Structure 1
Amino acid sequence: MTVLLVALGAAFGAPSRYLLDRFVQARHDSVFPWGTFAVNVIGSFLLGSFAGLSTQYFALLGTGFCGALTTYSTFGYETVRLARTGSSLYALLNVILSIIAGLLAGWAGLALFS
């Protein structure tokens, strides 16, 4: 049953990630990956918010939805791409800002909802 809950959450998280990423990125004329940054920070906040849920709800919303919403692989790819195309400052900012904002967002979600 838990696997089905994770899959159901992921079925909503993945398209949400794509749509939110495209929505945010389309509004910025910059090489900085604002869309990926936004989904990862929002996902960190939500995951912190869901931390106190029961195991089954956490499987659905935390592991499933947030797991599919957030994306470490795209963050890594975009950071390397920035560095390789001569945007090393943006690559460094992406790493620093993503880590700090993600941790703060997760902490805020945990503090507000636990």
Structure 2
Amino acid sequence: MITVVGFALAAAVGALVRSSASRANQTVPYGTFTVNVVGAFALGLLADVDPPVATVAGVAGAGTLTTFSMLCVEAARLWSGGDRILAVGYVAASCAAGVAAAALGIAVAP
């Protein structure tokens, strides 16, 4: 039961933080970029953690904090708004920074 409650709370917090961050700046999506990189680092830290911690913190917390769909929507908005170089750079930077953050999380995990 504690896992279910923890899962729900972690998911709610992650989703609220991500939602707030994605609304922070509509011109350039720094908020979503930041939460995706932070979430990738967190998931890297949790890569070798056993359930239920991995389920609650990883799937619910970091999983709702990060969002591929919002990255896609923001890239599509940039593209359709004529900022095609920025759109491509945003996707490339998000992927590169996310992989680097996850690798760093794995490397520094206890």
Shorter chain as denominator, the TM-score bin is 0.7 to 0.9
Distance of aligned partners of 1:22 and 1:84 in 2 relative to their CA distance in 1, 3 Å threshold: closer
**Aligned: 1:54 with 2:55:** no
Matches within 5 A, 1:33-72: 33-72=29-68
CA drift at 1:22 = 4.6
AA matched with 1:16? V
> Match of 1:54, SS?
coil
Given the two structures, how large is their TM-score scaled by the length of structure 2?
A: 0.88
4+ residue stretches of structure 1 with deviation over 3 A? Answer: 19-23
Query: What is the count of residue pairs matched by the alignment?
Result: 109
The alignment's C-alpha RMSD in Å is 1.9
Question: What SS class does the counterpart of residue 52 from structure 2 fall into?
Answer: helix
Matched, 1:10 2:11: yes
Contact 1:45 1:108 in 2 (8 A): yes
Aligned twin of 2:82: 86
Q: Contact conserved, 2:3 with 2:52, CA < 8 A, in 1?
A: no
Bigger mean CA offset, 8-17 vs 32-41: 8-17
TM-aligned CA deviation for residue 75 of structure 1: 0.3
Q: Which consecutive residues of structure 2, in runs of 5 or more, have no partner in the other structure?
A: none
Contact in 2 for aligned 1:2/1:59 (Cα 8 Å): no
Deviations 1:45-104 (A, max 9, x none): 011011122110001000000111001111000101111110001101011100000000
| Cα drift, residue 19 of structure 1 | 3.4
Structure 1 segments unaligned to the other structure (5+ residues): none
Code of the aligned partner of 1:84: S
1:10-53 CA-to-partner distances (Å, cap 9, x unmatched) read 02211122334455x3xxxx822111100100000011011122
Match of 2:92 in 1: 96
